[in-house]
């Protein structure tokens, strides 16, 4: 087990190096940079930016260096000093912009994932055990509905209902008075107050698919021989269900959870724009449009790190759950 | 009432309408072992599950009574008890426990065996965790689990097949049930392990005085363990009585058929086996009248197929349900046996013939990788320095416990593994002899049509998305020497050769039964007119009567087409029947090789003796006479200096562990035991019997 874990953790290193390189190159290779973009914007306002000024600006930002040198400067800063470079459009160090956003993204994604589990696992188990019952059909119907409705549309509808009928302050993750406030207990409560709406919106599609996965996995396990054997020992039906088939059905489910997490992290952009959430999505989109390269590369890098770490966690969780993996790959 | 359980008129219905068990009457006597015998599809397992009310959806008990005499003398009708009721839950595991065929799938791999054993205890008794653990370990010790303290915390996949079955027996017996239901508990085990488990069950039954309902299809096992026998066919008991009566004086044609299709190990091994024709029909297509009549050699048209049978008492507690013993017995001529399909006698190979295949010093090792860098830390020596010859037209049987390397040897010859070293020379007479290991290009391609393989599992080895025509014809298409018309014609011929209708060519494999699928697999192997066919456990997954049909067919195909077989099997009865010569493998090496007669009547290696002694049901008198192999095949990754068998051999001496015994003896009978000349080993019939060489 120790060797298995160590190997898995070490596998992460080359993955991260590749991810950082690719995320930087994706931003840096296409023609044009922040300076060209600025010049275009100024030109649109009728203000021609002289070539010499552009070159001076490039030199100032280090954009005239070869790409690999730029990469090296950036990544060595990230790794050695936690310095993600400078955001041209914000005129701030990237790390000052990125960390609060990333933190909120993680909080929202984890909350959505927990919401999915709490709702979907019991419904999935019920659906599998009472297959073809009225409850199963209702769950299946709602599940397909949840899969079919685009998230941003659901966001609009939910926001309208919350605002028009319940007079709630919707949009964003904070009330206006806490938006720029330092962290305090009241701010946390305010966050929780705003969190549940996007959490549900982001979680519906995942909930629907998890219900299907649990139902299908569990139906495969319900009539396995070891279930008969345990029933023949005299075990009661509920304890039997939880100890054997549900536990067995969890393994393939756990290995699939990372995909859902990735989907929530990266797929939430449109919802975040619609709901005005201070997560990474909208900012990443902006920085790509303005070619704010350190900002964009840093966002992509950190989101990829989240995904890689998520995969690692789900692998380790699976190994912890399943002795076959623990003992046979160690 | 002397009976622990009395089943009356039991009816089990599946999916609404199909009766799988129809009015079954069965008594399970207290303190005795009752064997329930029949082919698969007869309703044996579902009857057993009905006693515990654990039949899987969509099956259910739809009529009749299952009366269990409880410990306090009350009688409980299980059939009328709700499956989920507390009463039923209390009966399960406490009064009646069950063990199953495949411990690997009946035990959960996610919990330790200790967890699952003590769970059975805590469900029925209030005990602390510590007491439960102590009880569990004690139980494991009782069922002969080596090192029970440590094994208690093992997972199923860390145990051998025999140890898993012991764990399951411990789980069943920890509450000291009054009835143990054993559903084919030894079918998936090696013959040596089976012998040990049967001994264990018999001893536990004697010690505890519990009743055992033992379900099996193997009449050898019945002879070994039963007090009484009930033979089941299509959901009804057709014959019942004390074991001696039923086996020595079988009355029902079905019982007789089952006995006749069992390979014999006394007298002439090679006498053709008489198979019961056809197969068990699905319950939805139950024949009218006596449901056995379509397969019965006595059946009288207009009588057996119209009038249903009644049970007839024959005295001595012997019951039979057959018209031949009923009130109108006169209408049936019991001597009117159908002529058995003549199995052509196989000509003996000419002594001077050159071997078709010579294997020399063959090695196949699989590397074991471990540790952080996955370096090779050892090797599984699956095939270890093997030399043997196979002559044209003969059948060489290859036998040994699982894990001895016999399948790897077959797969290496056919080219599924690349050998590490050695030579395999193939000389078919019409081409220059070639070495299989170095052949390239056109020669290698020709070899792939000359040497073909039949696999154990006909379900897994036939592509479910291909039509039978394409499955059989593929080898011809690949070799592109044939036109589509020729291939079509050849497929038709092959299908009729293996006893299937040529119209089956358009169907997909799922439309066939296991036996029919194996026939298709054989037709596929024969499609390219091979010289050598390697049959890897080709009949092991089949029912006895179907197995006999396939063996008989393979023998006549051999005679017609001049085939040579390498027949790999763990079943010594089958090996004795089909083989001209037999090679016994142990831990990757051949320990004895010789003619079938020599191996079975004059074994010279103690391992061969132990294998023969483990065959169930040969009435080897006192248990003190028995030879039982403890332990299992040694870890093939461990290199041993001397004889690999020494650790399990009752005749082993220090000298055995010093040097590897060479394969010596006469050219016709070689064996690898340094003490061969001083030992007088027992033969298949249990008596020391020396045949003069």
C-alpha count within 13 angstroms, C-beta hemisphere, residue B438: 7
User: Complex ipTM, two decimals?
Assistant: 0.80
Look over chain A and give the mean of its residue pLDDT values, rounded to a whole number: 85
Indicate if A132 and A170 belong to the same structural domain: yes
Indicate if A179 and A244 belong to the same structural domain: yes
Is A322 among the domain residues? no
Who among A3, A228, A243 is closest to B372 (CB)? A3
> In chain B, which residue's Cα lies nearest the Cα of A225?
B106
Alpha carbons B564 and B567: distance in angstroms, whole number: 9
Range of the domain at A76: 2-89
With beta carbons under 8 A apart, name residues in chain A contacting B100: 225, 228-229
Indicate if A30 and A78 belong to the same structural domain: yes
Indicate if A16 and A130 belong to the same structural domain: no
> What CATH architecture does domain B357-586 belong to?
3-Layer(aba) Sandwich (3.40)
Residue B342: pLDDT band with limits 50, 70, 90 = very low
Highest mean pLDDT among A41-55, B167-181, B322-336: B167-181
> What pLDDT, on a 0 to 100 scale, did the predictor assign at position A184?
83
Indicate if A249 and A157 belong to the same structural domain: yes
Average pLDDT for B589-606: 92
- The CATH number that domain B3-226 falls under is 3.40.50.300
Mutate to test the interface with A, among B108, B117, B375 (most CBs of A within 10 A): B108
Average pLDDT for A45-65: 83
* Beta carbons of A146 and A205 less than 8 angstroms apart: yes
Residue B344 has pLDDT above 70, yes or no: no
| CA-CA-CA-CA torsion sign (B528, B532, B534, B535) | positive
Domain final residue, candidates A62, A89, A116: A89
Residue A42: pLDDT band with limits 50, 70, 90 = confident
Is A234–B110 a contact, with Cβ atoms under 8 angstroms apart? no
With beta carbons under 8 A apart, name residues in chain B contacting A9: none
Alpha carbons B615 and B622: distance in angstroms, whole number: 15
pTM score, whole prediction: 0.84
CA dihedral B100, B105, B109, B112 (to 10 degrees): 0
Look over chain B and give the mean of its residue pLDDT values, rounded to a whole number: 87
Residue A35 has pLDDT above 80, yes or no: yes
Mutate to test the interface with B, among A133, A224, A232, A240 (most CBs of B within 10 A): A232
List, as own/partner pairs, every contact residues A258-262 make where C-beta atoms lie below 8 angstroms and the sequence separation is at least 24, other chains included. Answer: A258/A307, A258/A310, A258/A311, A258/A313, A258/A314, A260/A113, A260/A116, A260/A206, A260/A209, A260/A210, A261/A109, A261/A113, A261/A307, A261/A310, A262/A307, A262/A310
Average pLDDT for B587-616: 91
Indicate if A82 and A118 belong to the same structural domain: no
Is B171–A233 a contact, with Cβ atoms under 8 angstroms apart? yes
The DSSP secondary-structure symbol of B112 reads -
β-pairing verdict for A86-87 and A92-93: antiparallel
Average pLDDT for B481-507: 88
Same fold, B3-226 and B357-586: yes
With beta carbons under 8 A apart, name residues in chain A contacting B97: 232-233
With beta carbons under 8 A apart, name residues in chain B contacting A6: 372
- N residues, chain B: 693
Residue B372: pLDDT band with limits 50, 70, 90 = low
Mutate to test the interface with A, among B51, B100, B110 (most CBs of A within 10 A): B110
Task: Mark out chain B residues that contact chain A at CB-CB < 8 A.
Answer: 49, 52, 54, 56-57, 84, 89-94, 97-98, 100, 102, 105-111, 116, 119-120, 123-124, 155, 157-158, 168, 171, 371-372
Q: What are the residue boundaries of the structural domains of chain B, listed by start? A: 3-226, 357-586, 589-671
Who among B52, B105, B155 is closest to A232 (CB)? B52
Domain final residue, candidates A54, A89, A124: A89
Indicate if A154 and A254 belong to the same structural domain: yes
Residue A1: pLDDT band with limits 50, 70, 90 = low
Is A328–B108 a contact, with Cβ atoms under 8 angstroms apart? no
With beta carbons under 8 A apart, name residues in chain B contacting A225: 100, 102, 105-106
> What pLDDT, on a 0 to 100 scale, did the predictor assign at position B97?
95
Residue B656 has pLDDT above 60, yes or no: yes
Residue B540 has pLDDT above 70, yes or no: yes
> What pLDDT, on a 0 to 100 scale, did the predictor assign at position B687?
60
For residue A301, give how far its alpha carbon lies from the nearest alpha carbon of chain B (Å): 28
Report which of B18, B51, B40 is spatially closest to residue B513, judged by C-alpha positions: B40
Indicate if A12 and A34 belong to the same structural domain: yes
Residues A151-176 as b/e (b if ≥16 CB within 10 A, e otherwise) read bbebbeebbeeeeeeeeeebbebbee
pLDDT tens-digit readout, B191-238: 888 888 899 999 999 999 999 999 998 888 999 899 999 999 999 999
Number of independent structural domains in chain A: 2
Is B56–A228 a contact, with Cβ atoms under 8 angstroms apart? yes
Q: Does A291 or B110 have the greater pLDDT score?
A: B110
Indicate if A115 and A245 belong to the same structural domain: yes
> What pLDDT, on a 0 to 100 scale, did the predictor assign at position A164?
86
Residue B622 has pLDDT above 50, yes or no: no
Residue A3 has pLDDT above 80, yes or no: no
Is A234–B98 a contact, with Cβ atoms under 8 angstroms apart? no
> What pLDDT, on a 0 to 100 scale, did the predictor assign at position B632?
67
Residue B692: pLDDT band with limits 50, 70, 90 = very low
Please report, in angstroms and rounded to a whole number, the separation of the first and last CA atoms in chain A: 5
Residue B640: pLDDT band with limits 50, 70, 90 = confident
How much of chain B, in percent, has pLDDT values that exceed 70? 94
Is A309 among the domain residues? no
Is A131 among the domain residues? yes
Question: Which of A88-92, B368-372, B486-490, B659-663 is predicted with the least confidence, judged by mean pLDDT?
Answer: B368-372
Average pLDDT for A132-155: 88
Is B171–A232 a contact, with Cβ atoms under 8 angstroms apart? no
Mutate to test the interface with A, among B54, B170, B177 (most CBs of A within 10 A): B54
Is A233–B93 a contact, with Cβ atoms under 8 angstroms apart? yes
Residue B347 has pLDDT above 60, yes or no: no
For chain B, helix (H) and strand (E) counts, in that order, are 21, 24
For residue A235, give how far its alpha carbon lies from the nearest alpha carbon of chain B (Å): 7
Residue B620: pLDDT band with limits 50, 70, 90 = very low
For residue B186, give how far its alpha carbon lies from the nearest alpha carbon of chain A (Å): 16
| CA-CA-CA-CA torsion sign (A133, A138, A141, A144) | negative
Residue B337: pLDDT band with limits 50, 70, 90 = low
Is B108–A323 a contact, with Cβ atoms under 8 angstroms apart? no
Task: Mark out chain A residues that contact chain B at CB-CB < 8 A.
Answer: 3, 6-7, 223-226, 228-237, 243-244, 247-248, 321-324, 327-328
With beta carbons under 8 A apart, name residues in chain B contacting A229: 98, 100, 106-107, 168
Residue B112 has pLDDT above 70, yes or no: yes
With beta carbons under 8 A apart, name residues in chain A contacting B109: 323-324
Q: Does B619 or A147 have the greater pLDDT score?
A: A147
Alpha carbons B400 and B575: distance in angstroms, whole number: 11
Alpha carbons B186 and B188: distance in angstroms, whole number: 6
How much of chain B, in percent, has pLDDT values that exceed 90? 43
Q: Which helix (H) or strand (E) holds B585?
A: strand B581-586
With beta carbons under 8 A apart, name residues in chain A contacting B155: 323-324, 327
Indicate if A234 and A160 belong to the same structural domain: yes
Is A154 among the domain residues? yes
Report which of B154, B157, B73 is spatially closest to residue B109, judged by C-alpha positions: B157
pLDDT tens-digit readout, B237-267: 999 999 999 999 999 999 999 998 888 777 7
> What pLDDT, on a 0 to 100 scale, did the predictor assign at position B120?
93
Who among A3, A226, A235 is closest to B107 (CB)? A226
For residue B106, give how far its alpha carbon lies from the nearest alpha carbon of chain A (Å): 4
Indicate if A181 and A56 belong to the same structural domain: no
Average pLDDT for B385-399: 93
* Beta carbons of B384 and B587 less than 8 angstroms apart: yes
The DSSP secondary-structure symbol of A243 reads I
> In chain B, which residue's Cα lies nearest the Cα of A322?
B110
β-pairing verdict for B228-233 and B312-313: unpaired
Chain A and chain B share a number of CB contacts under 8 A equal to: 78
Indicate if A167 and A207 belong to the same structural domain: yes
Who among B105, B120, B158 is closest to A233 (CB)? B120
pLDDT tens-digit readout, B274-313: 888 888 888 888 898 899 999 998 888 888 888 888 888 8
> In chain A, which residue's Cα lies nearest the Cα of B373?
A7
For residue B654, give how far its alpha carbon lies from the nearest alpha carbon of chain A (Å): 36
């Amino acid at each position: 087990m120790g060797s298995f874990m160590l190997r898995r953790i070490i596998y992460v290193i080359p993955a991260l190096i590749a991810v950082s390189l690719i995320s930087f190159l994706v931003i840096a290779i296409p023609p044009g940079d922040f300076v060209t973009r600025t010049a275009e914007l100024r030109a649109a306002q009728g203000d021609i930016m002289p070539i010499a000024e552009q070159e001076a600006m490039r030199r100032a930002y280090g954009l005239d260096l070869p790409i690999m040198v730029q990469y090296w400067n950036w990544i060595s800063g990230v790794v050695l000093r936690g310095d993600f470079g400078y955001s041209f459009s914000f005129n701030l160090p990237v790390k000052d912009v990125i960390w609060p956003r990333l933190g909120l993204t993680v909080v929202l994604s984890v909350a959505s994932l927990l919401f999915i589990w709490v709702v979907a696992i019991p419904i999935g188990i019920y659906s599998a055990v009472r297959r073809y019952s009225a409850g199963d059909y209702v769950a299946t119907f709602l599940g397909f509905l949840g899969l079919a409705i685009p998230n941003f549309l659901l966001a609009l509808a939910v926001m309208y209902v919350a605002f028009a009928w319940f007079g709630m302050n919707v949009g964003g993750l904070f009330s206006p008075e806490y938006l720029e406030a330092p962290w305090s207990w009241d701010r946390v409560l305010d966050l929780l107050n705003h969190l549940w709406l996007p959490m549900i919106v982001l979680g519906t599609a995942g909930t629907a698919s998890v219900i299907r996965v649990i139902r299908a996995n569990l139906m495969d396990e319900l009539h396995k021989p070891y279930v008969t054997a345990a029933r023949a020992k005299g075990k009661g039906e509920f304890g039997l269900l939880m100890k054997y088939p549900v536990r067995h059905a969890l393994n393939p489910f756990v290995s699939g959870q990372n995909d859902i997490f990735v989907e929530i992290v990266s797929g939430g952009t449109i919802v975040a724009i619609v709901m005005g959430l201070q997560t990474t999505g909208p900012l990443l989109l902006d920085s790509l449009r303005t070619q704010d390269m350190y900002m964009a590369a840093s966002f992509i890098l950190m989101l990829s790190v989240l995904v890689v770490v998520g995969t690692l966690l789900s692998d380790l969780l699976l190994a912890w759950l399943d002795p076959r993996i623990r003992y046979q790959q160690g | 009432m002397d009976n622990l359980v009395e089943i009356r008129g039991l009816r089990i219905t599946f999916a609404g309408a199909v009766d799988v068990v129809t009015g079954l009457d069965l008594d399970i006597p207290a303190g005795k072992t009752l064997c329930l015998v029949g082919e698969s599809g007869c309703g044996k397992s579902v009857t057993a599950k009905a006693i515990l009310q654990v039949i899987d959806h969509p099956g259910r008990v739809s009529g009749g009574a299952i009366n269990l005499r409880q410990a306090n003398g009350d009688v409980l009708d299980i059939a009328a008890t709700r499956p989920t009721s507390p009463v039923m839950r209390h009966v399960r595991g406490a009064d009646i426990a069950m063990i199953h065929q495949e411990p690997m799938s009946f035990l959960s791999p996610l919990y330790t065996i200790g967890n699952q054993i003590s769970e059975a205890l805590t469900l029925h008794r209030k005990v602390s965790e510590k007491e439960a653990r102590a009880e569990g370990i004690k139980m494991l010790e009782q069922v002969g689990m080596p090192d029970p303290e440590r094994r208690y915390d093992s997972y199923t996949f860390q145990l051998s097949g025999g140890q898993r079955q012991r764990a399951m027996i411990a789980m069943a017996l920890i509450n000291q049930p009054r009835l143990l239901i054993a559903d084919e508990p030894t079918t998936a085990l090696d013959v040596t392990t089976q012998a040990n488990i049967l001994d264990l069950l018999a001893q536990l039954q004697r010690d505890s005085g519990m009743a055992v309902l033992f379900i099996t299809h193997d009449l050898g096992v019945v002879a070994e363990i039963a007090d009484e026998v009930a033979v089941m066919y299509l959901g009804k008991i057709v014959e019942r009585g004390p074991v001696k009566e039923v086996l020595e004086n079988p009355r029902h044609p079905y019982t007789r058929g089952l006995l006749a299709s069992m390979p014999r190990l006394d007298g002439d091994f090679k006498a053709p086996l008489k198979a019961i024709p056809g197969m068990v029909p699905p319950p939805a297509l139950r024949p009218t009248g006596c449901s056995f009549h379509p397969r019965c050699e006595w059946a009288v048209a207009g009588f057996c197929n119209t009038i249903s049978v009644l049970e007839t008492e024959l005295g001595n507690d012997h019951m039979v349900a057959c018209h031949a013993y009923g009130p109108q017995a006169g209408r049936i001529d019991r001597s009117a046996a159908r002529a058995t399909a003549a199995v052509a006698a196989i000509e003996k190979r000419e002594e001077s013939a050159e071997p078709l295949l010579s294997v020399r010093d063959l090695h196949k090792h699989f590397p074991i990788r471990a540790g952080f860098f996955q370096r090779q830390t050892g090797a599984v020596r699956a095939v270890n320095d093997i030399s043997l010859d196979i002559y044209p037209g003969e059948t060489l049987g290859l036998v040994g416990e699982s894990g001895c390397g016999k399948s790897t040897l077959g797969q290496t010859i056919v080219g599924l593994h690349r050998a590490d070293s050695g030579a395999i020379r193939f000389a078919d007479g019409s081409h220059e002899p070639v070495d299989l290991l170095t052949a390239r290009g056109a020669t290698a391609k020709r070899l792939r049509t000359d040497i073909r393989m039949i696999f154990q599992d006909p379900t897994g080895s036939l592509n479910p998305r291909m039509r039978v025509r394409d499955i059989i014809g593929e080898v011809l298409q690949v070799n592109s020497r044939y036109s589509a018309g020729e291939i079509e014609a050849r497929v038709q011929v092959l299908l009729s050769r293996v006893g299937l209708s040529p119209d089956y060519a358009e169907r997909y494999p799922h439309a066939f039964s296991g036996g029919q699928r194996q026939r298709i697999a054989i037709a596929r192997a024969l499609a390219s007119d091979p010289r050598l066919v390697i049959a890897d456990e080709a009949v092991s997954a089949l029912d006895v009567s179907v197995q006999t049909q396939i063996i008989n067919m393979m023998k006549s195909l051999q005679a017609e087409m001049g085939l040579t077989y390498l027949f790999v099997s763990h079943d010594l009865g089958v090996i004795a029947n089909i083989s001209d010569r037999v090679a016994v493998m142990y831990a990757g090496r051949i320990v004895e090789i010789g003619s079938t007669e020599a191996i079975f009547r004059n074994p010279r290696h103690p391992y061969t003796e132990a294998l023969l002694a483990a065959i169930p049901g040969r009435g080897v008198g006192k248990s003190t006479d028995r030879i039982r192999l403890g332990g299992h095949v040694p870890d093939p990754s461990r290199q041993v200096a001397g004889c690999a068998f020494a650790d399990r051999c009752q005749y082993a001496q220090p000298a055995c562990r010093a040097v590897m015994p060479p394969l010596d003896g006469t050219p016709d009978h070689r064996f690898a035991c340094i003490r061969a000349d001083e030992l007088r080993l027992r033969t298949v019939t249990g008596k020391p019997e020396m045949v003069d060489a």
